[in-house]
């Protein structure tokens, strides 16, 4: 493990303690420009990191572009987001499963009463009912990302966070520029990620400190 990677993992542990968040217990820093497997790999955003299977995943294109200290705000935000995501996801599960269970029970009852298998198709209504819930999830997780940035800024400093975001923005990286495109709306994704302008504006609205 390089000195840089070791220092980054030390930063993760320190930030987790400062934020009173469970230490993810990481063994390795993995530098990748693409994440995911199978037929749908995706670009690792230049202004983000991810935690997976005891690994901290960072965008390879940024390995020599920003320092360990500059990674701290980005890592802190992801730590907070993981905590917020878990809380929100637990509350949303009943909204996802409730309608499905109700429709399955209704279908079984109607099949028993009428003897017709026509009611098996009742569960298809689930996909109509669930659309508003999924849209709600999208908005919630998008806001969780921004809330995570605000919380992280209280620990690492708003100006330090803004400085690294502005630095990344100034590099005019393809993935960052694409996310700013009006035709690219990350909020429609299952796990939405605000673009860097959204993140900067979000932090600029905080009281300097």
**The pLDDT of residue 130:** 60
- pLDDT tens-digit readout, 147-172: 999 999 999 999 999 999 999 999 99
| CB proximity list for 32: less than 8 A, separation 6 or greater | 44, 57, 58, 59, 60
Distance CA 10, CA 116 (A): 63
**187-205 mean pLDDT:** 79
- pLDDT tens-digit readout, 35-76: 876 667 788 999 999 998 889 999 999 999 999 999 999 999
Distance CA 26, CA 12 (A): 8
139 vs 91, residue with greater confidence: 139
The mean pLDDT value of the chain amounts to: 81
pTM: 0.75
Checking if the pLDDT of 187 tops 50, the result is no
**130-157 mean pLDDT:** 79
Tokens of 57: 């995943």
Closest CA to 92 of 140, 131, 126, 129: 140
- 189 vs 16, 17, 107, 138, CA distance in Å? 28, 31, 31, 7
95 vs 153, residue with greater confidence: 153
Judge whether 45 and 147 are in contact, CB under 8 Å. Answer: no
Tokens of 144: 């969780």
């Amino acid at each position: 493990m390089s000195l840089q990677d070791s220092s980054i993992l030390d930063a993760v542990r320190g930030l987790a303690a400062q934020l009173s968040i469970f230490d993810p217990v990481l063994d390795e820093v993995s530098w990748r420009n693409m994440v995911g497997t199978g037929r749908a790999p995706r670009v690792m955003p230049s202004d983000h990191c991810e935690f997976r299977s005891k690994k901290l995943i960072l965008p390879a294109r940024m390995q020599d572009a920003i320092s360990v200290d500059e990674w701290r705000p980005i890592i802190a935000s992801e730590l907070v987001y993981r905590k917020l995501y878990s809380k929100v996801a637990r509350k949303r599960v009943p909204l996802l499963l409730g309608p499905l269970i109700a429709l399955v029970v209704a279908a079984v009852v109607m099949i028993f009463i009428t003897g017709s298998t026509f009611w098996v198709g009742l569960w298809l209504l689930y996909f109509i009912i669930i659309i508003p819930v999924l849209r709600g999830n999208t908005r919630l997780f998008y806001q969780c990302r921004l809330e995570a940035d605000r919380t992280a800024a209280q620990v690492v400093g708003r100006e330090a966070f803004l400085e690294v975001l502005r630095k990344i923005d100034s590099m005019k990286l393809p993935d960052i520029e694409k996310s700013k495109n009006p035709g690219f709306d990350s909020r429609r994704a299952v796990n939405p990620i605000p673009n860097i302008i959204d993140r900067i504006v979000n932090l600029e609205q905080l009281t300097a400190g």
